[in-house]
Amino acid sequence: MSKLVIVESPTKVHTIKKYLSSDYDVVATKGHVRDLPEKRLSVDIKKHFAPKYEIIKGKEKLVDELKEKAEKSSQVLLATDPDREGEAISWHLAYILGLDTAEKNRVTFNEITKSGVTAGMEHPRSIDLNLVNAQQARRILDRLVGYKLSPFLSQKIRRGLSAGRVQSVAVRLIVDREEEIRAFKPEEYWTLDAKLTPAKGTSRKSFEASFYGTPEEKIPVSNKEQADAILKELEGAEFQVAKVKKGTRRKKPAPPFITSTLQQEASRRLGFQARRTMKVAQELYEGVDIEGMGAVGLITYMRTDSLRLSEDALNDAASFIEEKWGKKYLPDAPRHYKSKAGAQDGHEAIRPATVSLTPEQVKGSVTSDQYKLYKLIWERFIACQMANCVQSTTQADISAGKYIFKASGYTVTFDGYTVLYEEGKDEESREGGSLPPLEEGMPLKCKELLGNQHFTQPPPRYTEATLVKALEENGIGRPSTYAATISTITAREYVVRDGKALKPTELGEVTTKLMKERFPKIVNVKFTAQVESDLDHVQSGETNWVDTLESFYGDFEKTLKKAKADMEGVKIQLKEDETDIICEKCGRRMVIKTGRYGKFIACPGYPECSFTMPLVVEMPGRCPKCGGRIMKRTGTSQKT
C-alpha cells in the first residue's frame, strides 16, 4: 500500500512527486474543502459560537476521491500550506478522513526543493490546534461582522453592500486621508537658491546652495516681499566658503522581504498590485519547470512576517557574493535581522530557495511576471548579505554678506550592496550629488541667484504600497490578507484607483461616516489591532478562542441593536451618477443605479417615469470578426 500525501495546490503535486519515492501518492485539495456555507450565518452563538461546517459546494466528488485514496493507503500525511489557513485545511481533512489529530500526520515545506521536502517529511508533527483555533476564531469573527453588519448597511445605504472587520478600517484610513487633503490649507514659502562655482582652482564644477539665514539663526522666507528684500541685500555680495565639514556615511542594505515589504516593493518598482504579487509569488513557491532541472520551487514560503534566515542560506549567499564580486563585498559577519515584536517565526524570510540559481538562468523558463518578481526577491536577499555602501559626505556653510547658504553632497567611495540593489522609496529624496573640492576661505562665483515660490503640499493619497505599510504599522489584519482586502474595497466600489493612488468614492465616504457614528469600535484602528493581538494570543495558546469571541460579540450585538433602533425608517441618499443619455419618454438626463443584478441606467423621474435600459460598458480591444467595438452587457442572470 502506498502512502498518501495531501497538498493544497495542484501545481505542487508534480514538483513534490519528483522528490519522493514511488511509495508515495500526492494529491491536491485545490484549497479549502470544508467551510461555513455562504448563504447563512452557520454559527450557533448560543452554543459557544459552534461553527456549522459543510463540504464546499462543488468539492463533493473530490472529497469522495480523497476518502477512497485514504482508505487504500498505509499512511496519510497532511502537507497543506505552512500557515493558519493551511493548518485549518489539514484539521478539516483529518475530520473528513477520520484521522487522529494527535498523531504525527502533519508535514510542512518551507520551500519546495529536494532539501525542503526531505526536511518536511523527516519531521512530521501533530496538527497544531492552537493555530487551528486562531483560524476558526478569525473566520467566525469575520463571519459575524459580515453577516450582521452587511444587511444593515444594505438597508440604510444601498443594496448589496458588505462590511468587513479589516476592510472597513482600510476604507476608513483612505477616507480620513481624503478629509485631511480637503482640510489642508497650503502655506506659501520661498527658497533662495544660488548656483555657485569655485572662483579659483582646477575645478569649475557648479553646485547649488540654499539660503539658510544668519550664522546665529535660520530665517524662514514666507513671502515675495521678504524674498525680494533679501535678494536686494545680496546684490553684489561676495560668496565664500565659511566652513566645511567632511564625514563618512555607511548605508546598510534593507532586510530580506517579508510578505508586506514584498507587496510594497513590487508596487513601487514593478507597478504590481498586491493580488498580482501574491499570485506570482505563489507560483514561484509551488514550482516552475526550469529547463534542464524540471519542476523547481524557486522561493521559500511567501506568507511570513519573520526576518529569520537559515544558516545554509547565509553560507550559500556568502559563497556566491565572494565568487561574483570578491571578498571585499562581504560584511565582517553574516547579517542577522531582528523581526518586529509579535512576528510569527514559523517560516524564514522570503528568499530564493536555491541561491546559486540566478534570475538570468531561469529567465527563459518563466513568465515575464515570474522573472521580474524572482529577480526582485533574489537581488534583495543577496544584497542583504553584502557589505555597506560607503559614502564621503561634505557639508558646507557659504557666507554672503551677513547671510549663510548651505550646500551638501556626497560621493560613493565603495558601492557595496548598491552594486546590485537599492530599495525603492515612496517619496523622492532631495539628497544632493557630489560637490567640487571646497576649502574654508575659498572664494566662489555666483552664476545665478533666484527666489522660488513654493506652497506646502497636503499629505498624498494612499497607494497600495503605502496602505499596506500603514496597515502593517498599525497591526491591522495580517500581511497575507492585504491583497484580498484591497481587492475587496475596490471591487465593492468603496475605493477607486486614480493612477497608483487610492481614492474613496462617495459610497466609501458615506459608509465610513455611518460606521464611525454607529460602530466606532469596528472602524477604530487601535481596537482592530487589539483584536488582532487577541487572535495571536489564541495562536500561542495563551487565550481560549471562545472567550475571545464572547468578549467581542457582547458589545458588538448591543451596538448593532441600538443602531437599528435609532435609525429605524432612515435611508441615506447617495448622489446618483448622471449620464449624457436623455430619457426617451420624458427628456430627463438618465442616471446610473444599482439593483439586485448590478448597475443599470434609469430615469430619475421614477415613479412618474419608469424607463430603464442596460448599462453597456466598452471593453478594450476590437471584435476579431468585424473590427468593431466590444461591449460588455450584464443581464439579470448576472452573466456577462
DSSP string, 14-58: HHHHHHS-TTEEEEE--S-SEE--TTS--EEGGGTTEE--EEPTT
The three state secondary structure string of 350-397 is: ECECCCCCCHHHHHHHCCHHHHHHHHHHHHHHHHHCCCCEEEEEEEEE
Tell me the C-alpha to C-alpha distance, in Å, between residue 88 and each of 31, 177, 535.
11, 37, 15
- Residues 316 and 322: their CA atoms lie apart, in Å, by 10
Among residues 487, 507, 490, 488, which one has the least CA distance to residue 594? 507
- Residues 264 and 462: their CA atoms lie apart, in Å, by 12
Per the CB < 8 A criterion, the answer to whether 348 and 308 are in contact is yes
Per the CB < 8 A criterion, the answer to whether 407 and 245 are in contact is no
- Residues 299 and 259: their CA atoms lie apart, in Å, by 12
The contacts of residue 448 (CB under 8 Å, 6+ apart) are: 194, 195
Per the CB < 8 A criterion, the answer to whether 302 and 82 are in contact is no
Which of 53, 301, 421, 482 is catalytic? The answer is 301
436 cis-preceded (ω within 30 degrees of 0): no
Per the CB < 8 A criterion, the answer to whether 553 and 144 are in contact is yes
Per the CB < 8 A criterion, the answer to whether 163 and 150 are in contact is yes
- Residues 265 and 505: their CA atoms lie apart, in Å, by 26
Q: Which parts of 103-166 fold into alpha helices (H)?
A: 114-122, 129-156
Catalytic site includes residue 482: no
Per the CB < 8 A criterion, the answer to whether 300 and 350 are in contact is yes
- Residues 568 and 74: their CA atoms lie apart, in Å, by 61
Q: Which residues are catalytic?
A: 301
